[in-house]
Structure 1
């Protein structure tokens, strides 16, 4: 089988990038720069969302299904740089040569990775091989028939499918959590979002008759057994709801 890699990215403001773009020098600290960017977002009615090139990746989580196993984890360690996190993802793509899946890859994850990899002078030939572009599924695009006005949130779809889900929170709250040193919580949130992306993708494959009902149930059972083996409070809580 072609491996499946479903991933999720959580970001914070790139305050050094904001400093460079705004030309503030040392006159503004990180908190002030981020707040200026959030205010501009509110004024433009995009709910605190920054331009993609001014995001900094704080966490990447992957759910991977290969020939024999299912894995869910955050990439790297909490202390690793953004460039290292991105490289870990690119390395996974090179290793597994997977069908990659995201919730909003076309509108967020893929262009974000392009900008940030460019800034960090990284190399990822498979990621940018035009002949491999069909190897990515942006779920919200597929489900909405590429109509932005009818897009649903992953949180809503996960809940409607009976999956435990982390509520959507604003980017300024993630930034506050980051400043408070809550990176473990951010990484755990990213893992849950990556897992739900994978599980929704399984339903999408069933919808398209790419897998049978029996295969779908077997895949869900594999995921549950894998989470049981991880034996962590996070996944115990998840399984108690699912």
Structure 2
């Protein structure tokens, strides 16, 4: 029996409300200027282009919950507190979490510290502590997981994920109001991660060939049964690449 698993991918943007408060910035600065101020401070300190976990606001989480004989797709967007609360509810049904940390230069953007910091700031109730598996770290060891971009592994595995949005692209897309594009790209990231996770289970002997094929079939069925256009599009691309 497959262990109840929550595979997920999250998207964050600069917490401009918090950054205004943190740095005492004037109210007439635009959100873009506030974010750029924070990025410039990080660059001046040699910390690169990513903000620390507590300064990032979660704007989307795409997740697949595998329990019993079911696989459920969940897309969480809207207010950050609502996203995190709904995600916590999913955690109660799982026994382990699977993510793929995002490489940004030599830095690695992992979900765990972001989720912990932001949940604490929103005073959310405690949730069970679950094992967090970073598939990038598992595959890249002993190298840094930043050496292993998900979209490159997916492309080599003939999975439909051709790009990863950079921090700046995510921020510009969010500020432009195109939340649907964020949902679509993050979901494609999630689905490719899930398929690589299944292959990893085969690699490590956690799944045999028959069980792995059953999991592939379950994902296909889940996508087929969904009315969402971007899930149907992913399925079509995946099927075409497998031919």
Do they superpose with TM above 0.5?
Answer: yes
Please state whether the residue corresponding to 1:219 is helix, strand or coil: helix
* CA pair 189-47 structure 1, distance change in 2 beyond 3 A: farther
The corresponding residue for 1:97 is 94
The answer as to 2:185 corresponding to 1:181 is no
The corresponding residue for 2:123 is 121
RMSD: 2.1
The answer as to 2:79 corresponding to 1:86 is no
Displacement after TM superposition at 1:142 (Å): 0.9
* CA pair 46-190 structure 1, distance change in 2 beyond 3 A: farther
* CA pair 166-117 structure 1, distance change in 2 beyond 3 A: farther
Give 5+ residue unaligned stretches, structure 1.
none
The corresponding residue for 2:114 is 112
- Distance between the aligned counterparts of 1:26 and 1:81, measured in 2? 22
Please state whether the residue corresponding to 1:178 is helix, strand or coil: helix
Structure with the larger strand share: 2
- Distance between the aligned counterparts of 1:44 and 1:159, measured in 2? 35
* CA pair 179-150 structure 1, distance change in 2 beyond 3 A: closer
Displacement after TM superposition at 1:41 (Å): 4.5
Higher relative contact order (CA closer than 8 Å, sequence separation 6+): 1
Give 5+ residue unaligned stretches, structure 2.
103-107, 239-243
Displacement after TM superposition at 1:90 (Å): 1.0
CA contact 1:5–1:99 (8 Å) conserved in 2: yes
CA contact 1:72–1:195 (8 Å) conserved in 2: no
Displacement after TM superposition at 1:238 (Å): 1.4
The corresponding residue for 1:12 is 13
CA contact 1:206–1:213 (8 Å) conserved in 2: yes
The corresponding residue for 1:22 is 23
CA contact 1:166–1:189 (8 Å) conserved in 2: no
Please state whether the residue corresponding to 1:6 is helix, strand or coil: strand
Paired residue total? 232
